[in-house]
Structure 1
Amino acid sequence: MATLTDRLDHLLGAKTADALVDAFDIHTVEDLLRHYPHRYAAQGRELTEKDPEEGSHITIIARVVKADVVNMKSRRGQMLKVVLAAESQSVDATFFNPHKVKHAVRKGARAMFSGTVKYFRGKWSLTHPSYLILPEPAEGEDQVVSLAHVRGAGELAGMARATQQSGSGVDMSIFNRELIPLYPATREIESWTLLRCVRQVLDQLDEIEDPLPCTVRDEHGFVGLYEALRMVHLPDTRDDVARAHERLRFDEAAALQLVLARRRRDVAARTAPQCPPKPDGLAAEFDRRLPFELTEGQKQVAREISSDLAEAHPMNRLLQGEVGSGKTVVALRAMLQAVDAGYQCAMLAPTEVLAAQHAHSLREMLGPLGIAGELGAHEVATKVTLLTGSMPAAARKAAMLDIVSGDAGIVIGTHALIQDEVAFFNLGFVVVDEQHRFGVEQRDELRSRGRDGLSPHVLVMTATPIPRTIAMTVLGDLETSALRQLPQGRAPIVSNVVAARQRPQWVERAWERIREEVADGRQAYVVCSRIGDGENEADLRGAGKEPPETTSAVDLFDQLRSGPMRDLRLGLLHGRLPADEKDAVMRDFKAGTIDVLVCTTVVEVGVDVPNATVMVLVDADRFGVSQLHQLRGRVGRGSHHGLCILITDMNPGSPAFERLTAVAGTNDGFELAQLDLRQRREGDVLGSAQSGTATTLRLLSLLEHEDVIEAAREFARDVTEADPDLTEHPGLAALVASALDAERIKFLGRS
């Protein structure tokens, strides 16, 4: 008999067990049983989607309706051309050794085929797939045939032979089931190998002690874990699959939320510096000097943050808001509250350009309140200090002295702030801008810089709105505040999509619009998806490779300044420029001595030039939905209307063009965040796109299962409040490790 924690080499043999480890990191019985089928075949129906992706490895059950040996056109020899009927479509298959297979793959045969998808003229086919001739369903449920009578080739035949029972019989009954499971597989470990392993393990599995309390199972109507694992792998009906998925999906959500609930509890157990509001301090003086009225949203979020700062346990809050919604002023007011209490604040920015921009903006907003120690400073003023990695040695030394002495109440910087040699005098509050560029490790590194065992408060900000389900998972250790209201006087942005191939004259019109805006005293951005400088396109061609088809910033800069914008003042900005050059270009653009800035996505966040009213995005299809929204938010930041032109070579009607049309159709970042999630799919959001690995959610959908995530979050909170270390719930501790793969847990630790 077997338990969930048993190693597979004892049950399946070392060779198979090693292959499972290499392909899927499957080590134990539970690892294998948590590798769920991703679809099921009904008898006579296909085992894959109607239009699989080019190059994907698929398996189908089909009837041979035509099988002809024909001569090859391009070389000598013959091949077997087969037409298969699989549900509502026909599929072509080709075999290059016709005389070996024509006796088995013949008209009328019912068979399982597996191979790699190739498309030709819009139709997909299989080339030399492995196959297995199947018995007719009516021939019996417990059919055992002689090994010698198994007809097939390749891995499918191996699958059948793998079911060999004692003696020489082969159990073909699996192919007569109403639903046949198909697993996520690789070329090395095929679906049928996994099925054989699962059946072998299930035949030996002991009863399982369910990690979920019976009260939770009863409340939600869940089947037990033992029953769910059996039903998900060998269901008799579609209802079995649905009931199993319902239970196992909750396991996955609960495992996620237990990780996050324990992290929240760990943070709450630390002691933080108390920073209550000071009625006659720096923050109050800043409020008195504000030249504008805060929005109701800003006031509400400010109250939430102020209340958190006054507590003796660390604030751990996410502030998300629309582009231009005023997050920076809210964060500054909070920092001033901490300064009033005698603590330093650190603001961490992802790039030097953005760090310098923040330093300039904060000094500008503070005025005399931000120049302590200088002539004209207010009596309650503090000092704003910038620290980046590329600063000259003298400037860096001066900044370090400001930080260690406590003269700097507000320190702004990049990853340079996390370096060991940076010592704070009394750090009490950390602001992380653009949360998705950093992880828990960076946050905790700054947290560790607190004095006397105190853990600084943390506020993380993002201008990329995050769907609630994502916030409850990836960022589930953070309390969330949102700013959806734009400040008064902010002009709306109009966006248009230009199909460059079909309407080249519209591209010329885009350059004319820029000229018109510049003539009216405005400025513009032209954004490209790549730099071009140093990419050695000639070397690529010399190596037989084609260079990228997209337009580079360097090339477009040259084209525009010698063509449609030759009489305008153009600037070039990209990530490979030295820091001092980047700073100089941005200063000139903000000062108005540059009319048009040709750039890459270095202007994506934080760059604030109110006089810029037009943005042209070249090869706009190369940018993500959230990135397009971020970039677009760089214009229309003053009192003049903003215009965003999305240029693409994609054809109208294509998915990429429709995506751009959707972005152009709304300025609501929260709506676009949902669009982004639908298009990238949650596997990308939580997997490779965020963590750098290929991990994905198995059954839980962040789009469709918000209610499951909410219920799991409540369950995890209740459990961890009573049993923080899960010592009384060993089954739940094991669930965390098994329902989520190891890479996912590592990722959650970095997020």
Structure 2
Amino acid sequence: MDKPTWLNTPLERLLGSRTAKKLAPLGLENTADLLHFYPRRYLHWGKLTPLYSLHPNEDATILASVQSQQLHANRNGGVRLNVELTDGHSTITATFFATHPAKLSVHQGLLKPGTQHLFAGTISQYRGQLQLTHPSFEEAGEDVERILTKPIPVYPASSKCPTWFTAKAVGIILDQMRQEDLLDPFTASEKEKYGLLDLIEAIEKIHRPNTDTDIPKAKHTLKWVEAFELQAAFAQQRHTNAQARAKTIPATATEIIPEVIENFGYELTGGQQTAIAEVLADMSREVPMQRLLQADVGAGKTIVAGILMSVVVNAGYQAALLAPTEVLAQQHALNLRRLLPVPVELLTGSSKAGTRKHIAEITGSGQPAVLVGTHALLQDSLTFKNLALVVIDEQHRFGVAQREKLRENQDFVPHLLSMTATPIPRTIAMTVFGDLDITEIRELPKGRIPVKTHTVNECNHAWMQRLWVRSREEIEAGGRVFVVAPRIGDEESDSELASVTQTAQRLRNLPALQGIKVGELHGKLTPEEKAQIISDFNTGQLSLLVTTTVIEVGVDIKDASLMVILDAQQFGLSQLHQLRGRVGRGGQAATCIAVYSAEANPDSIERLEAFASTNSGFELAEYDLKLRCEGNVLGQSQSGKTTSLKALRVLRDADIIASARDLALAVVAEDPQLEKRPELAARVGLARQDAVWMDRV
């Protein structure tokens, strides 16, 4: 356990339980949380306005003395504090509202008669009298002109924790902090080289800047601190991994590759060939591989994984493929049994007792085989004795502890290949931050035609009518049609969003689809029911399938040529791109129609237009990262507490991240345990949790 520091002191000890309780919903639990809870923007007092010249609806900054204050109960509940202000000639009332008198106790304590303050807010009018409602205020000393030029920090707030409350709490902590408590991770020479402030100065200036020029200087230093501590944590992980030993896969085992490619029936793309070569090079060494394979939808990552696992089995070892859903695991097992000239076994949560016993015998005996499964492969009753390669499909759906479970109970560490079919923003962050080596497959196999994508407003009745006629035409030409809805059925009847059950019934009644057999697929069905429906859809017994996003990954219907996504504004770019990847998989021309609601907001429509503009998952992921707040898309820590990048931004600050990575690698190479850098070691201990969330859902 890492040694306690002032930075991880609970706020309750420093601020009291009442204040700490108000800050907790914002994710602020200890000193470091609060110090690194940076203002989201800054305001300025502006030019002083005499009271006599004030007008309703204008923003104003006034310098006034408090004449009196009175607390009143409101007729409709709650209380208000009326504070009479004067500049010596005119008067105005500042009014503050609250649900309980205690919530205005701070205001009463600060705004005592005879004290002088600066007030800033919007002038309003009540019963013919001008007033300020909930203005910002600060006590005015002798140096009023300096205060007027001083930026006012504005923090993310909630109804129970307004920005002024957070600012006051931050101020109490700032007044207690000492240079040695902050664990400044940089040496003097590093600060000079990269233009960094002392950490105590940066923290002070980000929260209490004297001028606007203080803010960017502080941000630059704080970005470096954040990048450096995370990169040092990753560098240590790399160093630790390099000390472990894995099974080396000899070059002779690759003799099986031509046979697998022949079964596949297609030439490998350049990206597939490069991916195979990079992984084989990694697995020829004793250092355990940790590689992420990013392959766009339809780019053939499954065949790459299949070839690599065949090589491992041909070398006399076991390989495991971990999939997030039973549908995907079953699909992988079906395809791999057809393609691979090695034993392929399947284990899921619904596997029979006999199958479970059979798999346990294989894993325990070390018999060479490919083992495909869901989380069932992680159960304690399974012991792997000869596992040389672990392949994780849709890597972002598995936690670190889950993945590491397959690497236990052996005297060597299996190579690890994580895969994702759509490079979501979290994965982009990992390419910059993570301790995984990255391989990308961007091109589609020969003959694969990009899916044409269109957006349609549901209010365009002519287009909507044509949509279902077009569906019939696709089916009569031998195709299959997916219709995706965001919810299942009547249990959410108060929602206006399309559901599977209601949509399926409506389509069965449409004249344009008479005689077309319509199926329904969703997560409430049993694994056996899902498998049967997918099989019927594949063989043509069903021609149109209304479904939830359960088909997002793993469903491979060669004849599917049209997808209609209803209420498409409800889905993220990654999900939309994954769904689109379910059509055109047989090499035929295919179309995706994203239907959006008339109530869709401009941001949602912009996202859908971006989706329709490109078939590249890599481009969509970068667009998504620019569009959304990174702190909301990078996931959660293992404790469940929301984490985010505080000052750093993956795209905007790529140069800082790259430089911090180089510095961290050099520092850890010379001093792996950071014994010579105790401040950095302590910060890495605090950041280690964040180094893990990059890799989690």
TM-score (norm 2): 0.84
SS at 1:268 equivalent:
helix
The aligned residue for residue 215 of structure 2 is 241
SS at 2:593 equivalent:
strand
Is it true that 1:660 corresponds to 2:660 in the alignment? no
Q: Distance in 2 between matches of 1:194 and 1:102?
A: 23
What letter corresponds to residue 267 of structure 1 in structure 2? Answer: N
Correspondence for 2:350 among 370, 375, 390: 390
Contact 2:518–2:543 (CA<8 Å) still a contact in 1?
A: yes
Correspondence for 2:462 among 490, 501, 505: 505
The aligned residue for residue 557 of structure 1 is 504
Is it true that 1:717 corresponds to 2:665 in the alignment? yes
The aligned residue for residue 415 of structure 2 is 457
Change (3 A) 1:404 1:206: closer
The Cα shift of 1:477 comes to 1.9
Is it true that 1:490 corresponds to 2:448 in the alignment? yes
Q: Distance in 1 between matches of 2:50 and 2:637?
A: 36
The Cα shift of 1:499 comes to 0.4
Correspondence for 1:639 among 587, 590, 595: 587
The aligned residue for residue 546 of structure 2 is 598
The aligned residue for residue 436 of structure 2 is 478
**Number of matched pairs:** 658
The aligned residue for residue 544 of structure 1 is none
Give per-residue Cα distances to partners, 1:171-226, cap 9 Å, x unaligned: 98995452122233444444334433444444454444732122322221112212
The worse-fitting range, judged by mean Cα deviation, of 612-621 and 681-690 is 681-690
Give per-residue Cα distances to partners, 1:716-750, cap 9 Å, x unaligned: 22222222222221111233356x5x974563575
Give per-residue Cα distances to partners, 1:605-651, cap 9 Å, x unaligned: 12211211000001111110111011001111122111001111136
Contact 1:318–1:480 (CA<8 Å) still a contact in 2?
A: yes
Change (3 A) 1:45 1:418: farther
Give per-residue Cα distances to partners, 1:509-553, cap 9 Å, x unaligned: 1111110011111111111111116x263xxxxxxxxx1111111
Give per-residue Cα distances to partners, 1:320-367, cap 9 Å, x unaligned: 11101011111111111111221111100110001000011111222x
SS at 2:607 equivalent:
helix
Q: Distance in 2 between matches of 1:574 and 1:11?
A: 50
Q: Distance in 2 between matches of 1:64 and 1:628?
A: 58
What letter corresponds to residue 312 of structure 2 in structure 1? Answer: A
The Cα shift of 1:44 comes to 2.2
For residues 128-139 of structure 1, the aligned pairs below 5 Å read none
The Cα shift of 1:403 comes to 3.8
SS at 2:251 equivalent:
coil
Change (3 A) 1:109 1:33: farther
For residues 77-476 of structure 1, the aligned pairs below 5 Å read 83-85=57-59, 101=82, 103-104=84-85, 148-149=114-115, 176-203=148-175, 205-208=177-180, 210-278=184-252, 281-287=255-261, 289-366=263-340, 369=341, 382-407=342-367, 409-449=369-409, 451=410, 453-466=411-424, 470-472=428-430, 476=434
The worse-fitting range, judged by mean Cα deviation, of 315-324 and 11-20 is 11-20
Contact 1:275–1:310 (CA<8 Å) still a contact in 2?
A: yes
Contact 1:321–1:327 (CA<8 Å) still a contact in 2?
A: yes
Change (3 A) 1:582 1:666: same
Contact 2:396–2:695 (CA<8 Å) still a contact in 1?
A: no
The Cα shift of 1:276 comes to 2.0
> Unaligned 5+ residue runs, structure 2?
62-72, 120-130
The aligned residue for residue 44 of structure 2 is 42
Change (3 A) 1:147 1:314: farther
Change (3 A) 1:303 1:505: same
Give per-residue Cα distances to partners, 1:567-599, cap 9 Å, x unaligned: 112221111111111111111222222211111
Change (3 A) 1:587 1:25: closer
Structure 1 segments of 4 or more deviating over 6 A?
8-11, 61-67, 95-100, 105-116, 129-133, 151-159, 169-174
What letter corresponds to residue 525 of structure 2 in structure 1? Answer: L
> Unaligned 5+ residue runs, structure 1?
47-60, 68-81, 88-94, 117-128, 134-143, 370-381, 538-546
What letter corresponds to residue 191 of structure 1 in structure 2? Answer: T
Is it true that 1:747 corresponds to 2:693 in the alignment? yes
Change (3 A) 1:176 1:517: same
Give per-residue Cα distances to partners, 1:377-428, cap 9 Å, x unaligned: xxxxx21111111123334333444443445610101000000112334111
Contact 2:283–2:289 (CA<8 Å) still a contact in 1?
A: yes
Give per-residue Cα distances to partners, 1:479-505, cap 9 Å, x unaligned: 11000011100012111111012x122
Q: Distance in 2 between matches of 1:425 and 1:250?
A: 44
The aligned residue for residue 624 of structure 1 is 572
The Cα shift of 1:268 comes to 2.3
Contact 2:253–2:314 (CA<8 Å) still a contact in 1?
A: no
Q: Distance in 2 between matches of 1:690 and 1:306?
A: 32
What letter corresponds to residue 333 of structure 1 in structure 2? Answer: I
What letter corresponds to residue 500 of structure 2 in structure 1? Answer: A
The aligned residue for residue 125 of structure 2 is none
Change (3 A) 1:624 1:466: closer
Q: Distance in 2 between matches of 1:245 and 1:655?
A: 28
Contact 1:431–1:461 (CA<8 Å) still a contact in 2?
A: yes
Contact 1:472–1:709 (CA<8 Å) still a contact in 2?
A: no
Change (3 A) 1:688 1:22: same
The Cα shift of 1:29 comes to 5.2
Correspondence for 2:475 among 485, 504, 518: 518
Residue identity (%): 38
Q: Distance in 1 between matches of 2:531 and 2:366?
A: 27
Change (3 A) 1:280 1:84: closer
Higher relative contact order (CA 8 A, sep 6+): 2
Q: Distance in 2 between matches of 1:554 and 1:259?
A: 49
The aligned residue for residue 519 of structure 2 is 571
Change (3 A) 1:364 1:687: closer
Change (3 A) 1:670 1:692: farther
Contact 2:85–2:94 (CA<8 Å) still a contact in 1?
A: no
TM-score (norm 1): 0.79
Q: Distance in 2 between matches of 1:40 and 1:470?
A: 30
What letter corresponds to residue 152 of structure 2 in structure 1? Answer: I
SS at 1:598 equivalent:
strand
Change (3 A) 1:625 1:84: same
Q: Distance in 1 between matches of 2:535 and 2:242?
A: 42
Change (3 A) 1:442 1:703: same
Contact 1:348–1:414 (CA<8 Å) still a contact in 2?
A: yes
Q: Distance in 2 between matches of 1:469 and 1:23?
A: 28
SS at 2:278 equivalent:
helix
